[in-house]
Amino acid sequence: MPNCGICYERFTFPIALPCGHVFCKECVRRTVDSIKSCSLQHFCPTCRTPYSVVTIDPALVPPYLRQHIQPPIRPLFFDESTPAASTSAHTGVLSIPALVTAAAPDPTTSTPTASGAKSPTPAELGRLAADATALRMSCATWRRRAEVHAAANTGLLFFTRTAKDQVQRLRAERDQARSLCFVLKRKLCEIGCVSRFFSCCRNADIPRAPKPRARG
């Protein structure tokens, strides 16, 4: 079974990036979380090919377009009994061309009916090309909408984190001011007690010595 190119261990929940490189899901998540940035674009750890972490919500896509929109990060399932997994064990890349070549039929052994199939007319080709162009435009439009939606969510998350940090800072300042107010109250109470003590001493009746009597 292939090994992950980040942790160099056997794959656990393998996922494929758009460039074709395969990594562990947890390894990619830690790599994305380690970058302290609000950017939605990250780079493959192996070939540095950019990819987006935006996941399009299927509810925002019309049903007829959902089958044509693929997520940027796709889960994979390896069959250890197939030779394709053993050949890509040292590369960490899913050998998609090899699988396609193995699955493609041999043209030399094709049936006569396949070679003699009717070719599409220019009108059909034009209609298919127009449908493909319209489909690409629709996919691009919904992808831009999904990116705007994800950017708005990222902005809200950043605002929430900033507000939480501000609340914690104000809470710390409040506690510090409360402690200072308590200390000042204690000092004021001590000063008031000392002042009342001296006032009592000053107003108290002090006994005086009797005057000497005159001789005579």
Q: Same structural domain for residues 130 and 50?
A: no
Query: What integer pLDDT is reported at residue 84 of this predicted model?
Result: 45
φ/ψ of 177, rounded to 5, equals -65, -35
Query: What integer pLDDT is reported at residue 96 of this predicted model?
Result: 43
Query: What integer pLDDT is reported at residue 81 of this predicted model?
Result: 57
Residue 146 counted as domain residue: yes
Q: Same structural domain for residues 91 and 144?
A: no
Q: Same structural domain for residues 88 and 130?
A: no
Per the listing, tokens 């794959």 go with 11
Residue 207 counted as domain residue: no
Q: Same structural domain for residues 75 and 137?
A: no
Query: What integer pLDDT is reported at residue 205 of this predicted model?
Result: 54
Q: Same structural domain for residues 1 and 92?
A: yes
Q: Same structural domain for residues 89 and 50?
A: yes
Query: What integer pLDDT is reported at residue 9 of this predicted model?
Result: 86
Q: Same structural domain for residues 66 and 134?
A: no
Q: Same structural domain for residues 142 and 75?
A: no
Query: What integer pLDDT is reported at residue 149 of this predicted model?
Result: 79
For 150, counting Cβ atoms within 10 Å of its Cβ (0-12 exposed, 13-18 middle, 19+ buried), the class is middle
List the CATH number of the domain containing 33.
3.30.40.10
Residue 114 counted as domain residue: no
Q: Same structural domain for residues 8 and 90?
A: yes
Please tell me the total count of domains within the chain. 2
Regions of the chain where pLDDT drops below 70: 1, 80-117, 203-216
Structural domain of 145? 125-199
Residue 4 counted as domain residue: yes
Residue 190 counted as domain residue: yes
Residue 101 counted as domain residue: no
Which among 57, 36, 55, 43 has a CA at the least distance from the CA of 161? Answer: 36
Q: Same structural domain for residues 2 and 91?
A: yes
For 18, counting Cβ atoms within 10 Å of its Cβ (0-12 exposed, 13-18 middle, 19+ buried), the class is middle
Q: Same structural domain for residues 142 and 189?
A: yes
**CA 148 vs CA 56, 122, 141, 143, 186: distances in Å:** 11, 39, 11, 9, 57
pLDDT digits (tens, 9 = 90+) for 77-106: 877 654 444 444 444 444 444 434 444 444
Q: Same structural domain for residues 6 and 70?
A: yes
